[in-house]
A and B are shown apart, each in its own frame.
Chain A
Amino acid sequence: QVQLQESGPGLVKPSGTLSLTCVVSGGSISSSSWWSWVRQPPGKGLEWIGEMYHRGSTNYNPSLKNRVTISVDKSKNQFSLKLTSVTAADTAVYYCARHDYGDYVSYFDYWGPGTVVIVSS
């Protein structure tokens, strides 16, 4: 059973950099899956941030593309999110999730419990 767990600072100052890590257990980050970040502002819906494959390929949401970097540390079976130049609009619950692919199917099947990040001075 794959499990994901997010961690990182819960408070980030405006114009600073948000940095989160997602540790994967019960499975290898070097599998055929992609690994994603999704966020949810308070009281709002879900926004896909981006994803990475263990070999280094990435896809990002164009709405955040210039500020986002997702990277992998295969030795620790974890992946990370960096979001620069944050504002209050980046306050949200941040989830990491596994994006699994099959024959003509694609879905987020395992999620971390989420971590709250507040952008405030």
Chain B
Amino acid sequence: DIQMTQSPSSLSASVGDRVTITCRASQSISSYLNWYQQKPGKAPKLLIYDVSNLQRGVPSRFSGSGSGTDFTLSIAGLQPEDFATFYCQQSYTTPYNFGQGTRLEI
């Protein structure tokens, strides 16, 4: 199995800040890396697919980068609605493992 490790596990920030979350795969996953946002009591929402492609309707303040085993999710100019938990996920091979999550708090 490919293990996905996110850091940090939690992060405190303020409205307007820029934050970065990292995700490391235990082996190369090419560009098969997706990011999801989950708010309490809600289903995950696809934010970014294929490392850096924004899903329809996702604000441009979200961006992704990386390749191989190391990836990042950045949010520029945090908005109040951005405070949530973020998960990376590899879709290179089954089982399609997720990272453990990064909780972004005010």
Contact of B50 among A45, A46, A104, A112 (CB under 8 A): A104
Contact of A61 among B31, B55, B95 (CB under 8 A): B95
Which residues between 91 and 120 of chain A lie within 8 Å of chain B, taking CB atoms? 95, 97, 99, 104-109, 111-114
Whether A107 and B46, one on each chain, are in contact in the complex, defined by CB atoms closer than 8 angstroms, is yes
Query: Which B residue's beta carbon lies closest to that of A112?
Result: B43
Which residues between 64 and 98 of chain B lie within 8 Å of chain A, taking CB atoms? 87, 89, 91, 94-98
B44 within 8 A of A: yes
A47 within 8 A of B: yes
Interface of A is mostly: strand
Contact of B34 among A47, A61, A63, A108 (CB under 8 A): A108
B53 within 8 A of A: yes
Size class of the A contact interface (CB-based, 8 Å): 20 to 34
With A48-B98, A59-B94 already in contact, the answer to whether A105 and B87 are too (CB < 8 A) is: no
B45 within 8 A of A: yes
CB distance from B77 to the nearest CB of A (A): 25
Whether B44 and A46, one on each chain, are in contact in the complex, defined by CB atoms closer than 8 angstroms, is yes
Whether A48 and B49, one on each chain, are in contact in the complex, defined by CB atoms closer than 8 angstroms, is no
Q: Which A residues are CB-close (under 8 A) to B46?
A: 107-109
Report the bound CA distance from A111 to B42 in whole Å: 10
With A46-B98, A48-B97 already in contact, the answer to whether A111 and B50 are too (CB < 8 A) is: no
**Would you list 20 pairs from A and B whose C-beta atoms are within 8 A, ordered by A residue?**
A38-B44, A46-B89, A46-B98, A60-B94, A61-B94, A97-B43, A104-B30, A104-B32, A105-B32, A105-B91, A106-B49, A106-B91, A107-B89, A107-B91, A108-B34, A108-B46, A109-B46, A109-B55, A111-B44, A112-B43
Known: A95-B43, A105-B50, A109-B55. 7 other contacts (CB 8 A): A45-B98, A97-B43, A99-B91, A99-B96, A107-B89, A109-B46, A113-B42
Chain B residues within 8 Å of A, Cβ to Cβ: 1, 30-32, 34, 36, 42-46, 49-50, 53, 55, 87, 89, 91, 94-101
